[in-house]
Structure 1
Amino acid sequence: MEIRVLRYFLAVAREENITRAAERLYISQPTLSRQLKELEEELGKKLFIRGSSKITLTEEGRLLRRRASEILDLVDKTADEFKALDEINGGDIRIGCAESQGIGCVMHAAASLNEEYPNIRYHLYSGGTESVIEHLDQGILDFAIVVEEMDPTKYNGLKLPYRDKWGLVLPKTSPLAQKKTIQVEDLKGLPLMCSRQALQAEMAAWLGDTFADMNFVATYDLVFNAAIMVQEGFGYALTFDGLVNTDELSDLCFRPLEPELLVPMYIIWKKYQVFTPVASLLIEELKSRFLPAKEKNPEGKFAE
């Protein structure tokens, strides 16, 4: 299976039309059709359903689209890394980010590094922890910023000087908006929304035995969408402070949980990962900021 043919396949999947895909790829339509037919023969599966004006993917085609995207992301990243080996003044750094204001700690370090190396290019991937870690494990990302300590046998990392505070995003018209904090009893009977990961981790632990009494009506990956659902009266969103606009012009407000629920943030990377020069520079910049002097070490273990 050739990389070139995977690029052809993805182009057709995007365009849903062989003629348009061929034009974008600057090859002839018969050549592209032949390459796709040979790909189907190689895999032994039908990848497309060819209609009169549109091509759609079969179930096998959707699987290949997902895998081809991952493969090509890794191929492109590898090419960038080899190019960067001779490019100490610049290069690409890919970081996966959980939703948190704590990423400001890392971005401040990155901005400082860019003063000396202005040609560094940062590529940010936003998503839930599971998705971010999957991309880190696949080698697509150099680093991941997460809100939980990861397996130290698989990852190295640094604890960031920031802790996220959990609370409830709710309409300002809600009676609960008059309270300074939200307690467990306040949540009973409310239609609640929470991130999928937190629902099984921090929130499950905080609620304890009352977890079964709660009415979770939705889960989310990125809280921006959940905030819109709150605005539309769908429910109340459990999330971190500072992620939803709750200024005086907003219809929403944030109230922290009581007892207080704080979670730490980490920036992690795979053990034994070989970094490009610029990625190594970022690690050293982060260590100089976030590792206590007595704990500075080349392994970059999770430090308080």
Structure 2
Amino acid sequence: MELRVLRYFLAVAREGSITGAADFLHVTQPTLSRQLKDLEQDLGKKLFTRSSHNIILTDEGMLLRKRAEAIVDMVDKLEAEFNSMEETISGDVYIGGGETDAMRQIARVVRGLQLCYPNIQYHLYSGNADDVTERLDKGLIDFGILIQPANLSKYNYIDIPGEDVWGVVMRKESPLALKDTIQAADLIDVPVICSRQAIKQTFSKNEFADWFGEDFEKLNIIATYNLAYNAAIMVDEGIGYAVVLDKIVNTSSDSNLCFRPLKPRLESGLNIVWKKHQTFSAAAEIFLKEIKAKFTKET
């Protein structure tokens, strides 16, 4: 299975048609169709369902797409790292993390490095802890930013100064907006939008589950989210109240939304992590050296 063919396959999956993919790849349609047919024969599986106007991935095709994207990303990253091995430091640093105001501290590190190393590029990937650690374990990103509690046993890590504050985002005309803080009892009889990661973690002991205590089972969770931006849209449309971290959702004066912290106050620490025995590119090494200098305490 050639990398070139995997790129062809991904183009077809993305464009949804042979014609569109052929135009994008600058190859003829017969050539592209033949390559896809050979790929299906090599794998012994049907990858597409074809119609007169478009093509749809089969279950096997969806699996191949996921694996092929990871492979192509890895190859691109490897090529970029080797291309950066020159006297002038350049290259790429890949950082994954959840939505958190701690990214501002990372941005300040990047801003400082830009003066000395303007040829380094930074690539940000957003996702929850499972998404980030999966990409970290596969070598698709160099560093991950994890919101505590998180399993750090497989990683080297540095504590990021400061903590994120949990609270509830709601429309400004909502009854709970009259309160300065939100207690667990306030959320019992209202529709709640909650992070999927937080719900998953309640099956093991953690600070989020401890805050709710027995009341967690009484919550009317009508929706879950992976990214707080999407949760904010649900709130803005009157779907419910979203439990989120502060400073992630726009609650400025021109927004329909407001934020109220939880009481008792619930805060989560943050870590920047990387794989143990990781071999970094020159660019990533420089970034690591800088965050160690800025955040000091390594574990």
TM superposition score normalised by structure 2: 0.94
Quote the residue 1:274 is aligned against: 279
SS in 2 for 1:267: strand
CA contact (8 A) 2:136 2:143 kept: yes
SS in 1 for 2:258: strand
Matches within 5 A, 1:57-76: 57-76=57-76
Quote the residue 1:295 is aligned against: none
Q: Please give the alpha-carbon distance, in whole angstroms, between the structure 1 residues aligned to 2:88 and 2:198.
A: 39
Quote the residue 1:102 is aligned against: 102
Q: Please give the alpha-carbon distance, in whole angstroms, between the structure 2 residues aligned to 1:150 and 1:184.
A: 23
Q: Please give the alpha-carbon distance, in whole angstroms, between the structure 2 residues aligned to 1:154 and 1:221.
A: 24
CA contact (8 A) 2:93 2:120 kept: yes
CA contact (8 A) 1:88 1:278 kept: no
Quote the residue 2:219 is aligned against: 214
CA contact (8 A) 1:145 1:267 kept: yes
Whether 2:133 is the aligned partner of 1:133: answer: yes
Q: Deviations over 1:165-200 (max 9, x none)?
A: 000111111222111111111111110011111123
Whether 2:287 is the aligned partner of 1:285: answer: no
Offset of residue 150 of structure 1:
4.3
Q: Please give the alpha-carbon distance, in whole angstroms, between the structure 1 residues aligned to 2:20 and 2:171.
A: 47
Q: Please give the alpha-carbon distance, in whole angstroms, between the structure 1 residues aligned to 2:42 and 2:198.
A: 42
CA contact (8 A) 2:149 2:268 kept: no
The one of 241, 250, 275 aligned to 2:246: 241
Quote the residue 2:204 is aligned against: none
- Structure 2 gap segments, 5+ residues each: 202-206
Offset of residue 112 of structure 1:
0.5
Q: Please give the alpha-carbon distance, in whole angstroms, between the structure 2 residues aligned to 1:251 and 1:29.
A: 50
What count of residue pairs does the alignment treat as equivalent?
Answer: 294
Q: Deviations over 1:180-226 (max 9, x none)?
A: 11111111111001111112334322101111111111110111111
Quote the residue 1:82 is aligned against: 82
Q: Please give the alpha-carbon distance, in whole angstroms, between the structure 1 residues aligned to 2:127 and 2:87.
A: 29
Offset of residue 26 of structure 1:
2.2
Matches within 5 A, 1:133-152: 133-148=133-148, 150-152=150-152
Q: Please give the alpha-carbon distance, in whole angstroms, between the structure 2 residues aligned to 1:205 and 1:88.
A: 51
Whether 2:232 is the aligned partner of 1:224: answer: no
Could you say what the CA RMSD is over the residues aligned between the two structures, in angstroms? 1.4
Q: Please give the alpha-carbon distance, in whole angstroms, between the structure 2 residues aligned to 1:213 and 1:130.
A: 26
Q: Please give the alpha-carbon distance, in whole angstroms, between the structure 2 residues aligned to 1:248 and 1:16.
A: 42
CA contact (8 A) 1:149 1:266 kept: no
Structure 1 segments of 4 or more deviating over 6 A?
Answer: none
Quote the residue 2:6 is aligned against: 6
CA contact (8 A) 1:147 1:266 kept: yes
Offset of residue 27 of structure 1:
2.1
Q: Please give the alpha-carbon distance, in whole angstroms, between the structure 1 residues aligned to 2:119 and 2:292.
A: 21
Quote the residue 2:182 is aligned against: 182
CA contact (8 A) 2:232 2:242 kept: yes
Offset of residue 140 of structure 1:
0.6
CA contact (8 A) 1:47 1:57 kept: yes
Q: Please give the alpha-carbon distance, in whole angstroms, between the structure 1 residues aligned to 2:87 and 2:81.
A: 9
Q: Please give the alpha-carbon distance, in whole angstroms, between the structure 1 residues aligned to 2:230 and 2:177.
A: 21
Q: Please give the alpha-carbon distance, in whole angstroms, between the structure 1 residues aligned to 2:260 and 2:87.
A: 48
The one of 190, 203, 207 aligned to 2:208: 203
Offset of residue 149 of structure 1:
5.4
Q: Please give the alpha-carbon distance, in whole angstroms, between the structure 2 residues aligned to 1:87 and 1:121.
A: 16
Q: Deviations over 1:5-38 (max 9, x none)?
A: 1011111112222233223222222222221111
When residues 78 and 102 of structure 1 are mapped into structure 2, their CA distance, relative to the original with a 3 A threshold, is: same
Q: Please give the alpha-carbon distance, in whole angstroms, between the structure 1 residues aligned to 2:84 and 2:153.
A: 28
Q: Please give the alpha-carbon distance, in whole angstroms, between the structure 2 residues aligned to 1:194 and 1:275.
A: 36
Quote the residue 2:270 is aligned against: 265
Q: Please give the alpha-carbon distance, in whole angstroms, between the structure 2 residues aligned to 1:191 and 1:151.
A: 30
Whether 2:260 is the aligned partner of 1:255: answer: yes
Quote the residue 2:120 is aligned against: 120
